[in-house]
Amino acid sequence: MRKDLLIQIDALRSSRQEHTNLLYEVLNADNRKIYGVDLIAIGVMHRSIALIDGFTRMAEENNALCANALLRLQLDNVIRFYACWLVDDPHSLALTLLEGKRLDRQKSKRGMLLKDAYLVSEASKVYPWLENVYKETSGFIHLSDVHMFAPYKVGEDGEISMEVGSHIGRIWKEDEILESLRAFGEATNSVLHLSYSWLVTKDGKFGR
């Protein structure tokens, strides 16, 4: 595997410590008071670390179908965490989620249902890259042409072969791996940015 790919993988894995350090600061802010958004932050950060572990391993194993599905889940972390900034009472939103109620049936300050399309549109105002990556990776979540073509690969002689039961199929080119690694890195940085934004909010607004 190319050196630049290994550097990206190592950077993602090292961000696990940044997650735990930042979460420690969040939970200790405002004299260790716990708010609803803290519960969302804990869930998002825990899930993000798990996704980092899975994504980097799948990248190393050239498993594009699984890796890019995990990238899409990291984007889900971003947009659903961002929903806290779109509602009047984010702490109540957290309790609603804890009760197992659907996020897409809750409303924003503007009266908009918090459906994925709306969350992506709003979050993309802060993270401009997000909308395009979200659309591209949605094909890895739902059965689509991505999966229909995945078992096939074209040899150097132009011969088409098929392999079912293996994650290889069409070879995931190293430039494609790098693109996915960078996208996952951006998504992970966005998770950390949202966590830091909540830390600043908690220390400022709620710490007075």
CA distance 71 to 185: 9
pLDDT in tens, 36-73: 999 999 999 999 999 999 999 999 988 888 899 999 99
CA distance 82 to 191: 9
pLDDT in tens, 122-161: 999 999 999 999 998 876 654 434 444 455 565 666 665 5
Given a contact cutoff of 8 angstroms between Cβ atoms, the answer to whether 16 and 192 are in contact is no
> Percentage of residues in the chain with pLDDT exceeding 90?
68
List phi, psi (to 5°) of 160.
-95, 130
> Is residue 20 scored above 50 in pLDDT?
yes
